[in-house]
Amino acid sequence: GGGGSTEDDDAYGDRAMAAACGMRDFLRAEPMRTYAGHDGDILALSFSRSSHFLLSSSMDKTVRLWQLAGAECLFAFQHIDFVTDVVFHPLNERLFLSGSLDNKLRVWSIKEKRVVNWSDVSGFITAVGFSRDGTTAFAGTYDGKCTFFETDGLRWRTQIHVRSTRGKNHKGKKITGVQMLADDAHVLITSNDSRVRLYRTNDFSLLCKYRGAVNASFQIRASFSRATARYIVSGSDDGRVVIWNTLNQLGEAVATAPTRALLPQPAAQAAAHDQAA
């Protein structure tokens, strides 16, 4: 078989998108379990690789570790300021990364219940993450900068300024999400200028800018589709779900659907409609 898209690929993609719209089969009005303990708004959640544990970060200046099976808080990791984002290490669930408004990026040991590495970041941290192999950590900030570190020792690697070259967004807007592709060769960055950008990680050059979602104020983050990363999906301030083809060099949305399409409705009503060029 040669490279490029095939009819089978297209059919698989169509089925995947239809399955996404079929999320109504998994949504229920009643929660399966409630985890109580934070004294402030919860800002981020992260599941462990084994799916046995959950981390939650909050405006009460803590990260809490929960055991999913029993809804029990196992420990509260105290911070100095609001904890805006948190994520488990992708390969070692005894470690996690947190970002805070005290401008510090921290790697925590769950077993030792302490910070094992930390680094100052120039700006309020609004998004954090790991590469898929766990060797790189990164932090996005309120002023549109994304800084990359070696996870071991949190040694500074590089920084990119996520912004337009001209216009009202030339100074950069808050970064709301950062995600590495599975091969760690590309990184997807979402920001409050209503743009999603795909960068190469070998030289951090901009590969593509995706337009169509409205993201001016909320903590919306775009993400790759799980199986093949063929699609990028994002929420939108105006209540839509927006989908792009990852390889679409024009960065135009290939489909959109209103958020209500994810609620229990006939599948036909939940189908995404094509956008005009």
pLDDT in tens, 220-254: 999 998 877 889 999 999 999 999 998 866 566 66
Interatomic CA distance for residues 255 and 245, integer angstroms:
9
pLDDT in tens, 58-79: 999 999 999 988 888 999 999 9
Which among 37, 44, 111 is positioned nearest to 70, based on CA atoms?
37
Interatomic CA distance for residues 166 and 261, integer angstroms:
36
The reported pLDDT for the residue numbered 150 is: 97
pLDDT in tens, 153-196: 999 999 999 988 777 778 889 999 999 988 888 999 999 999 99
**CB-based contact 172:191 (threshold 8 Å):** yes
Q: Strand 155-161 vs strand 145-150: parallel, antiparallel, or unpaired?
A: antiparallel
State pTM to two decimals: 0.79
pLDDT in tens, 4-20: 444 444 444 445 554 55
The reported pLDDT for the residue numbered 22 is: 53
* pLDDT range class, residue 268, cuts 50, 70, 90: very low
Interatomic CA distance for residues 135 and 260, integer angstroms:
39
Angle at 77 between CA 137 and CA 39, to 5 degrees: 115
